[in-house]
Copies of this chain bind each other. A is one copy, B any other.
Amino acid sequence: MVLERLHIYNSLSNSKEKFKSLRKGYVGMYVCGPTVYSDVHLGNCRTFISFDVIYRYLKYIGNNVRYVRNITDVGHLEDTGEDKISKKAKVEKLEPMEIAQKYTNSFKETLKKFNVLDPSIEPIASGHITEQILIIEDLLKKDLAYESNGSVYFDIRKYNMTNSYGVLSGRDLKKIKSNSRKLDSQDDKKNEYDFALWKKADKKHLMKWTSPWGIGFPGWHLECTAMSNKYLGDEFDIHGGGIDLKFPHHDCEIAQAVGYTGKQPAKFWIHTNMLTLNNKKMSKSTDNNLLPNELFSGENDFFSKSFSPNVIRFFFLQAHYRNELDISEAALIASEKGFVRLMDMIERIENIKSIKNNNDKLLGLIKDWENKCFECLNDDFNTPMLIAEIFNSSKLINDIENKGEIGEREKNYFLNIFDTFLNKLLGLTFKKTNSQNDLILSILIKVRNQARKDKNFEISDKIRDELNQIGIKLNDND
């Protein structure tokens, strides 16, 4: 069966592997979610759209998928300046959870615009303190962690005696060592490369909890281990995230999980690549940065026009998730054109006269093409290849158009494939918008055409001018 041929590039083995879930028909997938202290980054949107397609495809091929994507609301607090806020008047101060709520809401709204499906569970990091403490206690018991001055660190040297830290990124400890000197609280650590499981909270910290080691807060790496383990178990199928999380975040996750459960947590690690803007890294500090809403509204310093979430999604999917992608006006305009071309293709099929007779040979050709489309997704969710393959059907459409007719069965089958790949799997909205809006407009255009035929240019010009005033431009061919 074509649906059983899925291969996924596994970052753990650096190779494409045939995908087989741990339990037949069930897939557990964990994806590192956003940190909700600012508007979601466009690069993150690309990541979540990529995993949305993966989620859709895994479900489509018959799996019951439990997709867990967390919300990080604790762990990145040091630089936000909460110390300025009065602690006496709880209502008056800027409560971190108010900020987290605000950006969680805006994150979800943005992903809705991109037509990203809700995951099965969206756990919140600060909501899993108990679970994190439990893991730390276990690691302490196993001597894989040590307490130091109210903080607890993971003991990488100790872990390395029986395991291998850095299996995902392939970094060796010497290199890590030389890069980790700048971190704070070095004095508390046995080794510079050790990472915090629990950090003592100083007075300026607003988000803090009691623990066996005093008042503090959990380390960022730990939350994902706690939540993936809680909702997906010791071993699950897929762990994903942006490539920037591969090291140290995911390597730390692996070390924690292996220490805690004795098992590699995820069978497949999937990493999405970076999004650049005009060939430069996006970054708030250099102003080479673009928010999704700025792109939707067109109100930004980079592009002369707005782009719909639908077109941006299409643009993202025209690149493979493992490749770097550069966003630029020219590229977006090209995608927009491609998008229209695809819509035209659907309309062309719809417009071919349908007849009752079946045509087995044509159905066979359509099915061959369908299989090729599936093979693209089976090849590590290769969406650009899939989109190219969909464009390829243009030749087939030409042939049928030349014939002037198509069997009803074949037509439905053909249109159905478009619907499956474009709407259901790529998550694009390629349906014709037969809204009342369009219907009223089509009446107006009909009336205008009639008026022009009758040489009643007063009416036809009036319609053109009035429509022009509300932003609808008609060609003289309309």
Contacts and interface: CB of A to CB of B under 8 A. Distances in A.
A339 interface: no
A231 B440 contact: no
Contact of A440 (B105, B441, B459): B441
B118 A101 contact: yes
Interface string A88-121: 0111100101100100010000000000001111
A441 to B, nearest CB: 5
B451 A444 contact: no
Contacts of A26: 89, 91-92
A464 to B, nearest CB: 10
A236 B91 contact: yes
Interface string A459-475: 10011001100111000
A28 interface: yes
A447 interface: yes
A28 B470 CA distance: 45
Contacts of A14: none
A236 to B, nearest CB: 7
Interface string A189-223: 00000000000000000000110000000000000
Contact of A91 (B66, B101, B444): B66
A447 B447 CA distance: 9
Given A437-B437, A470-B440, A121 B92 contact: no
A371 interface: no
A27 B127 contact: no
A39 interface: no
B232 A90 contact: yes
Given A129-B129, A129-B130, A210-B134, A470 B436 contact: yes
A447 B444 contact: yes
B27 A91 contact: yes
Contacts of A463: 443, 447
A384 interface: no
A451 B443 contact: no
A124 interface: yes
Chain A interface category by residue count:
35 or more
B459 A451 contact: yes
Interface in A114-158: 118-124, 126-131, 133-134
A97 B118 contact: no
Given A92-B64, A121-B101, A127-B127, A443 B467 contact: yes
Nearest to A137: B210
Contacts of A450: 459, 462
Contacts of A416: none
B444 A233 contact: no
A436 B444 CA distance: 13
B462 A447 contact: yes
B64 A91 contact: yes
B91 A23 contact: yes
Nearest to A90: B233
A456 interface: yes
A160 to B, nearest CB: 29
Contacts of A27: 91
Contacts of A446: 462, 466
Interface in A315-350: none
Interface of A: 22-23, 26-28, 64, 66, 89-92, 95, 97-98, 101, 105, 118-124, 126-131, 133-134, 209-210, 231-233, 236, 435-437, 439-441, 443-444, 446-447, 450-451, 456, 459, 462-463, 466-467, 470-472
19 contacts: A23-B91, A27-B91, A90-B233, A90-B236, A91-B232, A91-B236, A95-B120, A124-B124, A129-B130, A130-B209, A130-B210, A134-B210, A435-B437, A440-B470, A444-B447, A447-B462, A447-B463, A450-B462, A456-B459
